[in-house]
Amino acid sequence: MPRVVRCSIIQASNAVAATEPLATQKKAMIDKHLGLIRKAASDGAQIVCLQEIFNGPYFCAEQSPKWYETTESVPDGPTVKLMQDLARELHIAMVVPVYEVEQEGIFYNTAAVLKNDGTYLGKYRKTHIPHVAPGFWEKFYFRPGNLGYPVFDLGFAKIGIYICYDRHFPEGARCLGLNGAEIVFNPSATVAGLSEYLWKLEQPAHAAANGYFIAAINRVGTEAPWNIGEFYGSSYFADPRGQIVAQASRDKDEVLTADLDLEEIAEVRRTWQFFRDRRPDMYGPLVAS
């Protein structure tokens, strides 16, 4: 019998110039997303995932301590609290990526997970932190995540989170599968160029290797004053066979909604017995250094 979950992923351009006051920028992006989230709910979404650090620009294009002022605690900060109220009102589960402060000077790239009654289930902190020229100076802003690879039970689906640069590392993707994830959401901020060809390669491969669904989210537009490249959108869903089953546009704000039949996971895993045929006793060298 089908077990269908309707999911929406949201890609969006920056709402106002990054030269505006920080509070103005955050409010503008939150206000913009409120309408997009309501659109997803009106489309019947049961789970809605936003893009990486959705409530502002991709500020990691520069190294400036002013952006520390945009951090919030999770779950007690205002953005997560607002989204809890919205999840409760619209009866949707949500993945809410924000810039988290644990204590002063300790910051993480984090996604909060909310049930459809607004309950805070927990969070994932981005594990792999890039520091790559030009324009991806993330080690200036984030500590590596320390919460492992949790899976969150929404009652009707079990979901995992991987954030942006994490997608280049198959080890965590496998951990999410072994921990029981049925859908893995990857909120991202990535630009055209060196890694664009990997966008449609790596995550469908994770889906096929682990027999789960992937929801890959990327923002859109070119963000001044940094202009490090075009955030090319192209958000998509991939099924447990690694096939892209729905894809958003490259260059506009969009709510992409798809029905995912979780029964496909069992069907695929009974055909491809990758979990059965693993040899963890032989993989020690992977973590020996």
pLDDT at 287: 86
Fold assignment, 4-287: Nitrilase/N-carbamoyl-D-aminoacid amidohydrolase (3.60.110)
Question: Is 20 among the residues known to form the active site?
Answer: no
Q: Which residue carries 């594990």 as its tokens?
A: 127
pLDDT at 97: 98
**Residue-by-residue DSSP string for 78-106:** HHHHHHHHHHHHHT-EEEEEEEEEEETTE
pLDDT at 226: 94
Active-site residue, from 126, 138, 182, 223: 126
Question: Is 126 among the residues known to form the active site?
Answer: yes
Active-site residue, from 7, 32, 52, 123: 52
Active-site residue, from 164, 175, 254, 264: 164
pLDDT at 242: 98
Structure tokens at 187: 């909120």
pLDDT at 130: 96
pLDDT at 289: 73
Residue 241: name the closest of 218, 216, 199, 210 by CA. 210
pLDDT at 234: 98
Kindly give the interhelix angle for 170-178 and 202-210, rounded to the nearest 10 degrees: 30
Q: Are 233 and 249 in contact (CB under 8 A)?
A: yes
Domain ranges of the chain: 4-287
pLDDT at 202: 97
pLDDT at 71: 98
Which phi and psi angles does 100 have, rounded to 5°?
Answer: -100, 140
pLDDT at 225: 94
Residues of the chain with pLDDT below 50 are none
pLDDT at 129: 98
What is each CA distance from 278 to 129, 178, 275, in whole angstroms?
28, 11, 5
pLDDT at 22: 97
pLDDT at 134: 83
